[in-house]
Amino acid sequence: MISVNEARKILSENCTRGKIEAVPLGQSLDSIVAEDINSPIDVPSFNNSAMDGYALKFDVKLQRWKVNTIVQAGDTSAYKIERGEAARIFTGAKIPEGTDTVIPQELIAKNEVSGEIYYQQDKISSGSNVRLKGSQCKRGDLILKRGTVISPGIIGLLASVGLAEVKIYKAPSVAYIITGDELKEPGSPLKSGEIYNSNGPMLEALLKKTGVTEIFPRKASDKKEELQKIIDEALEQQDVLILSGGISVGDYDFVKECLENAGVKELFYKIKQRPGKPMFAGKKEEKWIFALPGNPASVLSCFNQYVKPCLYYFKGRNNVWNADSELILAEVHKKKPGLTFFVKAKTNGAEVEVLGAQQSFNLQAFSTANCLVELEEDKEEVKAGTLVKIYNL
């Protein structure tokens, strides 16, 4: 049996990135950029107006300008404005040749007889309200670093330089197998001795929250031959396999034996932690295998601590083994020494409160919990005011 830190170290040393693929911008949200991106063009690609107004050549010696041209956004015509002339211009429109300044329309006055315009020159300086070519970025500029999480704003940035697609790390395809004859699907009636399958829907949600879209649920009875067939099929077809239940040492716990038969190389089995001690992690070539205990809180805790970081790394993220934050523990908490505890908790400003119902079968605390708190292995009592690691749920 190994420590939590040893388990993290083993997984981090074996983590691999997913394949790189080009996807349309509209499908890239929350993905990770797989390469540095340089702008293929200047943005803006031409000098343009920052507002509706009048474009002219700034000249303190002139008092009146004659308007002889209208330039709209998207107009690709070539206009040339002479000294003493101005062009009516709109936001985003190309600045005509011979002009260098835009006067906002609200500062303009008009001579009703001659039709000429004028303005208070002390309120404007040369170059005002003109967006210069390349002022956002110039051709060849680095605009996005590899490893960046793609946000809506980044999608806008990439579109602004004319890119229709972006190279990202492809999320893995994941199969999960729920084991146990006692499990019934929600919505069906229960017989005495049966329980509802809560791990399946929970794993589905956890995978979706990490950005996995190719999810293949399976269910296996407590028959070794059936389980072996399902495991073999999943390992042949998917990048990651997660199992729930059947990993302990009961008479019907066949998961570890079946994984060995399938050629899975064990990375570790059993961690000095609560909940989730009988957890297995292994690999078969580049495929990841995680066998989690059957109790729901153990499933969520093990996924949060070990499966999620590996999936995030596969998708291109960095620093996946770090806690999300550190907060002060609100009240003293006693625990068994020799085991790292991951307890359901709720953050409250700068503090975090450990909740009740900490048993590994009990899901009630998740109605209010928003994080897990890590309580270190060698501690028997963690005092109020102690800074503890927080992992968001």
Residue 360 is predicted with a pLDDT of 78
User: Two tokens at 303?
Assistant: 């996924």
What are the start-end ranges of the H helices in 82-183?
152-160
CATH superfamily of 20-42+136-169: Molybdopterin biosynthesis moea protein, domain 2 (3.90.105.10)
Range in 75-84, 156-165, 178-187, 295-304 the model is least confident about: 178-187
Write down the domain spans for the chain. Answer: 4-18+171-314, 20-42+136-169, 48-131, 325-392
Q: How far apart are CA 137 and CA 18, in angstroms?
A: 31
How confident is the model over 269-275, as a mean pLDDT? Answer: 96
**Taking all residues of the chain, what is their mean pLDDT, rounded to a whole number?**
94
Question: What pLDDT shows up at residue 292?
Answer: 96
Please write the tens of the pLDDT for every residue from 81-140: 999 999 999 999 999 999 999 999 999 999 988 999 999 888 899 999 999 999 999 999
Supply the pLDDT for residue 317.
Answer: 94
Question: Average pLDDT for residues 264-271, to the nearest whole number?
Answer: 97
Cis peptide before 275 (omega within 30 of 0): yes
**pLDDT level of residue 230 (50, 70, 90 thresholds):** very high
Identify the pLDDT of residue 282.
97
pLDDT digits (tens, 9 = 90+) for 16-29: 999 999 999 999 99
pLDDT value at 151 more than 70: yes
Topology of domain 48-131 in CATH is Molybdopterin biosynthesis moeA protein; domain 3 (2.170.190)
Q: What is the pLDDT of residues 276-292, one digit of tens each?
A: 999 999 999 999 999 99
Query: Given a cut of 80, is residue 251 above it in pLDDT?
Result: no
- Answer yes or no: is pLDDT of 339 > 80: yes
Question: What pLDDT, in 10s, does the model give residues 291-302?
Answer: 999 999 999 999
| pLDDT for 250 beyond 80 | no
pLDDT digits (tens, 9 = 90+) for 293-334: 999 999 999 999 999 999 999 999 999 999 999 999 999 999
pLDDT at 252: 61
Residue 337's pLDDT band, with cuts at 50, 70 and 90, is very high
Contacts of 272 (CB under 8 A, 6+ apart): 1, 2, 3, 4, 338, 339, 340, 377
Dihedral, 22, 25, 28, 31 alpha carbons, nearest 10:
80
pLDDT at 123: 85
Confidence band for 247, pLDDT divided at 50, 70 and 90: confident
Instruction: Please tell me the predicted confidence (pLDDT) of residue 361.
Output: 82
Mean per-residue pLDDT, 363-375: 93
Rounded mean pLDDT, 72-88:
96
What dihedral do alpha carbons 340, 346, 352, 357 form, nearest 10°? -50
* Shared fold status for 48-131 and 325-392: no
* CA gap 155, 161 in Å, rounded: 10
Mean predicted confidence (pLDDT) in 11-16: 96
Which CATH number among 3.40.630.30, 3.40.50.1370, 2.40.340.10, 2.60.40.420 corresponds to the domain 325-392? 2.40.340.10
Superfamily of domain 4-18+171-314: MoaB/Mog-like domain (3.40.980.10)
